[in-house]
Amino acid sequence: MRLKTFLIGFAAGTVFLFAVFAGGWLERYYHLPILDRLGRRPQNSPTIVQREIVNEESVVTKVAAEAAPSVVTVSITKQQISFGNLGISPLDPFGFFRAQPTKKKIQQDIGTGFVVDAKGLVITNKHVVADTNAQYRVITKKNKIYPVKAIYRDPTNDLAILKIDANLPPLRLGNSDNLKVGQLAIAIGTALGKFRQTVTVGVISGLGRGIMAGSPLQGFVERLDNVIQTDAAINPGNSGGPLLNSSGQVMGINVAVAQSAQNIGFAIPINVVKAALKDFKTTGEFQRPFLGVRYQMISRQAALLNDVPQGAYVRAVIANSPADKAGIKPGDILVKFAGQRLDSNNKLAKLVNRMKVGQVVAVQIWRNGKMRNLKVKLEVRGIK
């Protein structure tokens, strides 16, 4: 009986010692936290949560440090005319006079941009440089100032390219088609037009959003489709700055913030920029396919009420445009474009922008109660 008890105790002790030594060996050579699981974690060893926090912090600091030399502040310089206040004329107590107009030079940080080519090409938003009567300059992290020599504005997207005489490192452009909701997002920009190189961190909150972007005060507002939503803090002044992933690649251009909410910002997918940049480097301008109609989308409800098909109602056709040459007339309803039915999700402008200059596209129209099929060859519309 004693022998049996001794053998059981010896076996149990042997198993325990083997588990301890094996756990320590595995933890040492394979970094497996066996001791944590046995409840014998040394007091000074970090927990898994601490390791994750340290890893995330190191990723953000590394990305911010590497991107900073390529992120610039966009500043505006213009003359502002002030007419002063009304006052009482000393010669006529019943009359009023206005002071002589005075000119005042204004310099202010208004947005952000980032370098996409070492030859001096900087990307920003079109609404940041919407004032064609003003002068612009870019300011680097080291406070070096470069006057903007030329501005190229995209006619269909809220994008602009600034040309400066500088040799700055460009950021790496990623692939926004691979984005997933929940992945890390890092924004860098001149927050509120005051705080340069502000870094904020969040996640990709949503994809494929549709928003109105721009500045009503500057007379520029446009609808942007398929934009990225993020909860990384984006403020006025961040417009035009990069939205980066954990590898330091640009995944989008920060473009807008939801005014009525907190931590809801939006960015243009970088793949849109890459396509525009490729055209620009080839032709020296933004090239977009041009159809040449002014139209209004007919909703499903309106189509049912008026007994017409849903589509794009043509209000006007520009003379000598591709639409004019193809035989499209005012009053026609474009029902299909390139084989896709036109509706609230597939708007005409969106489909046209997917095409290439010179491409021949099949168009189905409704005219006087009958369907007709036409062919239209898209031409270039470039704006410098």
Task: Supply the residues annotated as catalytic.
Answer: 127, 158, 239
CA-based R_g, the chain, Å: 30
3-state secondary structure the chain: CHHHHHHHHHHHHHHHHHHHHHHHHHHHHHCCCHHHHCCCCCCCCCCHHHHHHHHHHHHHHHHHHHHHHHEEEEEEEEEEEECCCEEECCCCCCCEEECCCEEEEEEEEEEEEEEEECCCEEEECHHHHCCCCCEEEEECCCCCEEECCEEEECCCCCCEEEECCCCCCCCCECCHHHCCCCCEEEEEEEECCCEEEEEEEEEEEEEEEEEEEEEHHHCEEEEEEEEEEECCCCCCCCCCCEEECCCCCEEEEEEEECCCCCCCEEEEEHHHHHHHHHHHHHHCCEEEEECCEEEEEECHHHHHHHCCCCEEEEEEECCCCHHHHHCCCCCCEEEEECCEECCCCCCHHHHHHHCCCCCEEEEEEEECCEEEEEEEECEEEEEC
Residues 266 and 239: their CA atoms lie apart, in Å, by: 10
Both tokens of 42, joined, read 């040394």
Both tokens of 45, joined, read 């060893």
Q: Are 270 and 159 in contact (CB under 8 A)?
A: no
